[in-house]
Amino acid sequence: MSEFAINTKDMARAAEKLRAGDRVLLSGTVYTARDAAHKRICAMLDRGEKPPFAIDGATVYYAGPTPTPPGLPIGSCGPTTSARMDAFTPRLLDLGLKGMVGKGDRSREVADAIRRNRAVYLCAVGGAGALAAKCVVSLKVIAFDDLGCESVKKLEIKNFPLLVAVDCHGGNLFEAAK
């Protein structure tokens, strides 16, 4: 196992080097999106509309941050259970999504799509939303404001500690643990 400092703009190249179990300090741009936002994004794609952010090369963080306290860029922003997005994820991976951050195991279909598209799934520590918030430099709501905490937000992060859970070479920490 190795440790890597990665910027999200280099995720496509970095994914090739990462192996399940590697530790990552992630910096750059991530987009928050949970199941309601994923459903809307896929509906937009079905209608031939542009999604709220460029999927190709993007990294999505499955999180719904709490309201922002005065003087801070974000409230608590721990990861959401990633399996809730599994119905939508293979399609987004096929459109070029390169990184996902969440918690918990993924379906066989998602693991196959990660491998097929040379992407990576990173896990954050569940229950540590205050720790994750310390890595957020800025937040901007970019879509679906009516969803409240589940709106799509553009976050700038710095040195977010993560673990590679599913890599593009077939490595999967959850399968290895079974």
Q: What is the pLDDT of residues 125-140, one digit of tens each?
A: 877 788 899 999 999 9
Q: What is the pLDDT of residue 175?
A: 85
Burial class (CB in 10 A: 0-12, 13-18, 19+), 152: buried
Q: Which tokens go with 30? A: 């991530």
Distance separating alpha carbons of residues 91 and 96, to the nearest angstrom: 9
- pLDDT tens, the chain, 178 aa long: 789 999 999 999 999 999 999 999 999 999 999 999 999 999 999 999 999 999 999 999 999 998 888 999 999 999 999 999 999 999 999 999 999 999 999 999 999 999 999 999 999 987 778 889 999 999 999 999 999 999 999 999 999 999 999 999 999 998 876 6
Domains, the chain, ordered by start: 3-170 (3.20.130.10)
Active-site positions?
A: 38
